[in-house]
Amino acid sequence: MGKRTPSGIPGKRLVSGGVFLGLVLVTLTPAAGRAPAWPLWQAFKARFVTYDGRVIVRKERDLRTVSEGQAYALFFALVADDRPVFERLLGWTRRHLAAGDLARNLPAWWWGRHTNGRWGVKERRSAADADLWIAYTLIQAARLWRVPGWRREGLALARLIASREVVRPRPGLTLLLGGDKGFVTHEGYLFNPSYPALPLLLALARAAPRGPWSGLARELPAQLAAVCRNGLCPDWALWLPGFGYGLPLAREGMGSWDAIRVYLWAGISAPASPGYRAVLRATDGMGRYLRRRDAVPLQINIRTGRGGGGQAPVGFLAAILPDLKALGERSVFASLRARLAAFRVRDGLYARPPGYLPRYYQNVLVLFALGFLDGRYRFADDGHLVLPWYPPRRWMLRKPAVPYLPRLTQFDSFQENRCD
């Protein structure tokens, strides 16, 4: 490689050689590769993703990063065929959340600024939903981008999930807990109904047939039917030895920020997947609720069916759209989609009311929902990811060259992504 100037920018010798050709190739090949341009993903990256691959939750004072955010961004980068950003997200996740090795360590769920001003992991325990999405996305990325090492890494992470976050309370019953620590309580086994998504379980069952994934996929419809009341789902639920499924007393059977994803996952699953119809039936309460009322609730009491908590954020409107379409609620679907369009703000993201600043989680839900409805991705019957840009044409197979850019420091990353 050629000499570098003191500033870290390539010198004349390097620019006149291979890097000049690399710059030409980058000019000819869009950063998002073979996929059609996805303006919403570009806007999300610009606001929430640092150059070194960290997704920032801006509304929190510690400017935290959560493993869920890294997992979702990895999935969106794959859908967009945005491999350079995918690799930076994966590298940051490995280094800062998994102590450098996702094959041996579950990612810590919370990283941010400590009260002493230092940056690092703030809570070491894992979050099973993030871990599941990372393992799934690595396996799919290995197939779509032809990187066998990512498949091995994804399978190793799946084995960690199986050994530390999956339990079998009785013969024939398999549960995905909320994480590796703190989810076996005096009440029972605590789990989140929004953590296991049917396509992910089916794909992992195919990739790792000796794992618990087939059992989790078979159990999911019965689990949702047991903990969701009248088709409305709670944020958290329990399995109590000797009694079966129930609801935690402290949470009063409320569904809100977590539960909204149960409807989203049901809506984006493949109709011919095993268990799909049963999952859709178990989660059809929000469609009936919106048929009678004009607004998506921020929270809903699944026992009484009463909504409350004020105005739902914009992501809730988006998240319910695929479910409404799958249920055949055409008029409600059309009304909500038109309403959602009104909350798009100047930078291409979504915020409600329009004068508010866009939030990370709300735009994650919008990316999932609109990406699916616009045909940017779908899931096959066995859960594997289907993208319009794959299989590629022969001339597209070569990875585009990326010009050298100096690596940002921790401080640079913070300064480039100021708090809202």
Question: Residues 129, 153, 165, 258: which is the catalytic one?
Answer: 129
CA–CA distance, 98 with 74 (Å, rounded to integer): 15
User: What is the rounded CA–CA span in Å between residue 134 and residue 93?
Assistant: 10
**Catalytic residue check, 129:** yes
Residue 29 C-alpha from the chain's centroid: 27
388 prior amide bond cis, ω within 30: no
Catalytic residue among 68, 153, 165, 329: 68
End-to-end Cα distance, the chain: 40
Distance CA 302, CA 226 (A): 12
Residue 303 amino acid letter: R
Q: Angle at the Cα of 209 (from 208 to 213), degrees rounded to 5?
A: 80
Pairing of the two strands 189-191 and 237-240: antiparallel
Cβ(69)–Cβ(364) below 8 Å: yes
Residues 313, 317: Cα–Cα separation, whole Å: 7
Residue of 294, 342, 334 whose CA lies nearest to 314: 342
Catalytic residues: 68, 129
